[in-house]
Structure 1
Amino acid sequence: MVDNYQGAGVESWEILNCSPDLPYPFPNSSLLTPSYSIAIAMILCIGNILNPTELETTIAKLEMAEFVDGKATAGWHARQVKHNTQLPQGSPALAIVRDIIDAALQRHALFQMAVRPYIVRPVTISRYDIGMSYGTHIDNALMYDPLMRSDVSMTIFLSDPTTYEGGELIIESTQGEVAFKLPAGSAIVYPSSTLHRVEAVTQGVRLAAVTWIQSLVRDPQQREILFDLDTARQTLFEASGKTPVFDLISKSHANLLRQWTEF
């Protein structure tokens, strides 16, 4: 886990405005960059998780790969509504793409700060052709190989959104449903406790990488508090340097992280 983000300040973050339906600007956002947008419960859209070279290499490998029925990796209840294909275990392309994405996530300070990853499951590569979808489901709470608890779900969009119709990721909440369809190379992270689905693709092909994370901080509200404090202290540091106020915020951030972290 990265816990030192100095040199990768908030001005360099690529936090996308996930959807016109989400609150923007976020309350108390005067200290933050204009591109900052976050919904409740730590739904966060991050631009350019993959750089252009990584994205190009990934797409090239997937274009030559053979996909199989995706039902095999779904839970018994989700299997009834899962209609897509995915790269099989043992696929040479899958091994290469996993290495690319794993390296990208390890170096990405914003992902590390927002998610606080303890275990990151190797990615699954999904393909949705015309007519394919993934109906409403909840991700498995426990996963195996490795044994882990799913706290955070993540989708990395690999296809240019202008090349396919449909295929939106729909996340349900008490505020209603929100649709997400991000630029290629961008990602969304959201609590695994939410019901969600992928709408049917009506034109083109939707490629995505999905993974699940056990966080050092399992509660999404606690992760949001830590994220807000970290954002505030870094913005303050960039504006004024190491001040007594910065030290006080850093103290609170560190002590909350110490209190809430689980191994």
Structure 2
Amino acid sequence: MIIIENLLSKDEVAQFRAQLAHVPFVDGKGTAMGMAAGVKNNGQADAQHEQVKQLANALLAKLGNHPQVVSGALPHRIFPPCFNRYSESQTYGYHVDAAIMRIPSTPDVLRSDMSMTVFLSELNEYEGGELVIQTGFGEQHIKCEAGSAVLYPSSSLHKVTPVTQGERIAAITWMQSMVSDQQMRENLYQLDQSIQSLINSDSASREQLDQLHHIYHNLIRKFAVV
């Protein structure tokens, strides 16, 4: 589970929010699959609306170029982001994301390896609405500043607790990684973050960094499927 702070600037969040205020929202149950439909109670921006498509593409471009997203997910494919809204009393009970998703308006499918929530509401705009993810270390409760995001394995059981006041707006998406093995993906992320830390601190020689890069890229070469 990776928290990505300031994925979007405050100005970018404001632009997304301003445009989302003028697009149609539909019942979120219509996009849920299988058992998830029975526990989903929220609104979702109409993915067929032209302005929503533009917003999804703008966020998609941001994700594809963000170094921490690339490092954490090693994305091969990214599902067009969806925008959801939870008003008072709305919630999404425990569920697991579908393993295979069809990318809209294409014949292509995506294996969901990583899920992401990008928070678009400020913390003081709503109460409740926590993203809760079950992990090997127990339930993790996540509620981030607007513009920040959380990236986590799609295989995790997770839920959104009821909003008790205000309104929670977020974007969600799913990624198929070039490295399907979750443990290897985590190891590669930790290795890459260690390399970046050494580069930023000037505490390693060029020769040492070259050796670490050699290991990192050869591991990707061995385990990535493209």
Task: State the TM-score bracket (shorter-chain normalisation).
Answer: over 0.9
Pairing partner for 1:165 from 127, 131, 155: 127
Amino acid corresponding to residue 107 of structure 1 in structure 2: N
SS in 1 for 2:34: coil
Q: Is the Cα–Cα contact under 8 Å of residues 86 and 125 in structure 1 kept in the other structure?
A: yes
Q: Distance in 2 between matches of 1:95 and 1:132?
A: 25
Deviation at 1:45, TM superposition (A): 0.5
Q: Distance in 2 between matches of 1:164 and 1:185?
A: 15
1:262 aligns with 2:220: no
Sequence identity (%): 39
Pairing partner for 2:19 from 43, 48, 61: 61
1:183 aligns with 2:145: yes
1:151 aligns with 2:113: yes
TM value normalised by structure 1: 0.81
Q: Deviations over 1:208-262 (max 9, x none)?
A: 1000000011122211211121122222233146532212211111111111101
Q: Is the Cα–Cα contact under 8 Å of residues 47 and 82 in structure 2 kept in the other structure?
A: no
Deviation at 1:206, TM superposition (A): 0.4
1:246 aligns with 2:209: yes
Deviation at 1:92, TM superposition (A): 2.9
Q: 1:232 to 1:175 in 2, by over 3 A?
A: closer
Give 1:30's aligned residue: none
Pairing partner for 1:235 from 191, 197, 220: 197
Alignment of 1:53-92 (within 5 A): 53-92=11-50
Q: Distance in 1 between matches of 2:60 and 2:137?
A: 33
Give 1:208's aligned residue: 170
Say which is worse superposed, 206-215 or 250-259, in terms of deviation.
250-259
Say which is worse superposed, 84-93 or 209-218, in terms of deviation.
84-93
SS in 2 for 1:130: coil
SS in 2 for 1:77: helix
TM value normalised by structure 2: 0.93
Amino acid corresponding to residue 117 of structure 1 in structure 2: P
Q: Is the Cα–Cα contact under 8 Å of residues 54 and 100 in structure 1 kept in the other structure?
A: no
Amino acid corresponding to residue 78 of structure 1 in structure 2: A
Q: Distance in 2 between matches of 1:143 and 1:94?
A: 19
Q: Distance in 1 between matches of 2:170 and 2:63?
A: 15
Q: Distance in 1 between matches of 2:196 and 2:162?
A: 41
Structure with higher strand content: 2
Give 2:179's aligned residue: 217
Amino acid corresponding to residue 170 of structure 2 in structure 1: A
Say which is worse superposed, 44-53 or 162-171, in terms of deviation.
44-53
Deviation at 1:82, TM superposition (A): 0.3
Q: Deviations over 1:123-175 (max 9, x none)?
A: 11110000100000000000012301000000000000111000000001232
Alignment of 1:96-107 (within 5 A): 96-107=54-65
Q: 1:240 to 1:174 in 2, by over 3 A?
A: closer
Q: Is the Cα–Cα contact under 8 Å of residues 152 and 191 in structure 1 kept in the other structure?
A: yes
Give 2:161's aligned residue: 199
Q: Is the Cα–Cα contact under 8 Å of residues 23 and 46 in structure 2 kept in the other structure?
A: no
Structure 1: gaps spanning 5 or more residues: 1-42
Q: Deviations over 1:93-136 (max 9, x none)?
A: 31221122012112211111111010000011110000100000
SS in 2 for 1:99: helix
Q: Distance in 2 between matches of 1:91 and 1:120?
A: 19
Structure 2: gaps spanning 5 or more residues: none
